[in-house]
Structure 1
Amino acid sequence: MMFIIGVYLLGLIPSPASTATHSLKYFYTATSGLPNFPEFVTVGLMDGLPITYYDSNIRRETPRQDWMAETESPEYWERQTQESISAEHSFKANIDIAKQRFNQSGGVHSFQRMYGCEWDDETGATDGFNQYGYNGEDLLVLDLKNLRYIAPVEKAATTKYKWDHQKGLIESDINYLTQYCIDWLKMYLKKKTLKRTVPPSLSLLQKSPSSPVTCHATGFYPSSVIVFWRRDGDQVYEDVDYGQLLPNEDGTFQNSVHLTVKPEDLDSGRYECVVQLLGVQEDFVTRLERSVVKTNLGNTGRTNPGSEGSGSSGLIIGAVVGVLLLVAIVCGVIIWKKKNPKKGFVPANTSDGGSNSSNNTPPHA
């Protein structure tokens, strides 16, 4: 069994190609056989960023973004805590039932659920999903169109039969996934955008004299940004590669654009990197000059002295790794196969006895 640290690979980190599509997802993970890890973990993700967290050690629902902490009342967090405690009892019971069903005892085991919704703010299209799994294998997936569950493995057939005949619970789940979840997603988006606009910190980086020059913008908010190169006032399209939009741990974002340029053009004064941020009229511009390019050869030029270390390519990598580790940790060391890259991961409940909490309206939102 492999512990997937690269939750990034499962589509939890947003990319520029999907900036019009917003998502609200909740991950529940119960584990056994991991002595130094919580037996139960929940995490809420909005657009790939953690917004809520609970585990069986702290036994408190906690915010993971400043805007969540600032906009939700203490009563909200107490209510969410009680609902997560209830889910913890259900999931611990279900992982024991699953172990019995699969005739397993010792070793490491995981029982997981992922549910949530997506909304395209350009087309208005929505989608919902409710999925379960055990030990990295898909078990049950809710088919919203046909009001039934799909069971990829034979040992989940009993649960599928039982749940398929609980039409009221299925309809309740679908009502949440297609209506209430979308409403909460839009509300969270509105609360998130109340956060003030944060300008980017710009750095110019180059591994070696023959490498492309990277313009790295970080620490900006919101995520709607355009980063590009100009030459003599006109945007450059040739010899340009665009990086990915990535989240920082503090809820801001980073992006980059790479320019292949001749060494003699470094001091020509013809090139400049431009960042255009939604909600800000002025452009953020830094001119390409050899003295401000940070390289592996020891140059220390930086276009924004107030952002210490923001120009280091090593720190860029470190920031990305930090994001991956954070998401991996809050997702409870997700043990999952990449079955459905569009949704992220696919979890399941093999219980035909014990708790049916996974059939009720999901405890979050």
Structure 2
Amino acid sequence: MQSVILLVVALHVASGAIHSWKAYYTGTTGLSEFPEFVALNLIDDQLMGYFDSNTNRFKSQFKWMEDNLGKNYDEQETNTLQGYPAAFKNNIKVVMERFNQTQGVHTFQEMYGCEWDDQTRATNGFIQDGYDGEDFLSLDLKEMRWISPVQQGFITVQKWNKDSAYIESDKNYFSSVCIEWLKKYLEYGKSSLQKTVSPQVSLLQKDPSSPVTCHATGFYPSGVTITWMKNGQEHHEDVDLGELLPNEDGTFQKTSTIRVTPDEWKKNEFSCVVEHQGKTVTEDKIRTNNGESVSIGIIVGALAAVVLLIIIAVAGYVVYKKKQGFKPVSGSDDGSNSSAQAVPQA
């Protein structure tokens, strides 16, 4: 008897959601075909704004941003971010010297932002820096101090930890100002940001001896859990969970691949459980790369070019901490919560 792999999409009704605003800044050296500086702002993991040193312009991604933040928003962000490429280039040079490096490809990155749970009202702020894809600096808001896992970061840690007012300012920003602006953004863009789209889910397998991939795509918001079940029990062995990736239309996709022998499929019942908001869908047909099926390569290839930039931006959390934490350009509703501010010298 042929084995049957059931696909159960259990979309549990969500009682709340965790919303986020994040900024990713990437400085590079030694990459001639990549901008020396890239800035990305994301709201609930959707690209909200983009800047790079090649175009030298900031571009909003939603119409509601201009409607609520004003026509000058992009210009404000552009004016601020235009000073970043030179600052990042200088700081890369300083850190290269600390690592006794004189040439090669190097990156500075920083990820920072805040989260808000609309059910529990819990908040969280974070700022993480790194160099060449490795952790370099981070701010511990509970301990109110900067920490570094590498000796080359100690000089900066010692300097910044002496400035208690600086750390207190960051704490206030991440616990208050950032959260206030996150809520404003959610209200301004609620027509698109608070929508719910259920995932389309398929089981993909190239041939009977190949791994089986559970592919969920087209869903929004981004929160999704993919779990493999074996005979009704959670199964984690030989399972590879893919990264969350954005689709070109603002939705998301994610995969989970399981590796088992054909004999195991015959003797056991496997299922893939995808948890999201809404409803339950069941699928028991494995799609292959032949005939009417769609290969993962084609699916992934359909992503917007900006996905590459996002992947690069989140790869290592690198760059130096900006001196004041990101502050709003204007505290009024016709201003903007700028993601940019002065970059300190190492």
Relative to the length of structure 2, the TM-score reads 0.66
Identity rate of aligned residues, in percent?
A: 41
Are residues 296 and 24 of structure 1, via their aligned partners in 2, closer, same or farther at CA, if it must alter by over 3 Å? Answer: same
Q: Choose which of 170, 187, 190 in structure 2 pairs with 1:190.
A: 187
Q: Helix, strand or coil: the match of 1:360? A: coil
Shift of 1:317: 4.9
Are residues 193 and 210 of structure 1, via their aligned partners in 2, closer, same or farther at CA, if it must alter by over 3 Å? Answer: farther
Please give the per-residue CA displacement for 1:203-239, whole angstroms capped at 9, x wherever unaligned.
Answer: 877759989x999885465568999xxxxxxxxx969
Equivalent-residue separation in structure 1 for 2:78 and 2:225 (angstroms): 39
Are residues 159 and 84 of structure 1, via their aligned partners in 2, closer, same or farther at CA, if it must alter by over 3 Å? Answer: same
Structure 2 residue 176 is matched with structure 1 residue 179: yes
Are residues 122 and 317 of structure 1, via their aligned partners in 2, closer, same or farther at CA, if it must alter by over 3 Å? Answer: farther
Please give the per-residue CA displacement for 1:277-325, whole angstroms capped at 9, x wherever unaligned.
Answer: 76xxxx898999x9xx976553x5xxxxxxxxxxx432x5533455596
Equivalent-residue separation in structure 1 for 2:133 and 2:214 (angstroms): 39
Shift of 1:198: 7.6
Please give the per-residue CA displacement for 1:24-73, whole angstroms capped at 9, x wherever unaligned.
Answer: 21111111111111111111122333221111111111124555466543
Structure 2 contact 20–44 (Cα < 8 Å) conserved = yes
Are residues 322 and 165 of structure 1, via their aligned partners in 2, closer, same or farther at CA, if it must alter by over 3 Å? Answer: farther
Q: Helix, strand or coil: the match of 2:322? A: helix
Q: Choose which of 106, 109, 114 in structure 1 pairs with 2:111.
A: 114
Q: Bigger CA drift: 66-75 or 197-206?
A: 197-206
Equivalent-residue separation in structure 2 for 1:215 and 1:151 (angstroms): 38
Structure 1 contact 42–331 (Cα < 8 Å) conserved = no
Q: Could you say what the CA RMSD is over the residues aligned between the two structures, in angstroms?
A: 4.4
Equivalent-residue separation in structure 2 for 1:224 and 1:135 (angstroms): 29
Please give the per-residue CA displacement for 1:340-360, whole angstroms capped at 9, x wherever unaligned.
Answer: xxxxx4x343xxxxxxx7121
Structure 2 residue 330 is matched with structure 1 residue 361: no
Written as runs of structure 1 = structure 2, the 5 A alignment for 1:197-212 is none
Q: Helix, strand or coil: the match of 2:249? A: coil
Structure 2 residue 3 is matched with structure 1 residue 39: no
Please give the per-residue CA displacement for 1:112-155, whole angstroms capped at 9, x wherever unaligned.
Answer: 21111122222221111122222223222112122221122222
Written as runs of structure 1 = structure 2, the 5 A alignment for 1:186-265 is 186-195=183-192, 219=218, 247-253=246-252
Q: Bigger CA drift: 130-139 or 323-332?
A: 323-332
Shift of 1:256: 9.6
Structure 1 contact 28–42 (Cα < 8 Å) conserved = yes
Q: Which residue of 1 aligns with 2:308?
A: 328
Structure 1 contact 27–331 (Cα < 8 Å) conserved = no
Shift of 1:163: 0.8
- Structure 1 residues not aligned, in runs of 5+: 1-15, 228-236, 258-274, 301-311, 337-344, 350-356
Q: Bigger CA drift: 98-107 or 23-32?
A: 98-107
Equivalent-residue separation in structure 2 for 1:256 and 1:138 (angstroms): 27
Q: Helix, strand or coil: the match of 1:61? A: strand
Q: Helix, strand or coil: the match of 1:27? A: strand
Shift of 1:361: 2.7
Are residues 199 and 141 of structure 1, via their aligned partners in 2, closer, same or farther at CA, if it must alter by over 3 Å? Answer: closer
Structure 2 contact 248–304 (Cα < 8 Å) conserved = no
Q: Bigger CA drift: 320-329 or 201-210?
A: 201-210
Q: Which residue of 2 aligns with 1:303?
A: none
Q: Choose which of 129, 139, 144 in structure 1 pairs with 2:141.
A: 144
Shift of 1:17: 9.9
Structure 2 contact 26–109 (Cα < 8 Å) conserved = yes
Structure 1 contact 29–331 (Cα < 8 Å) conserved = no
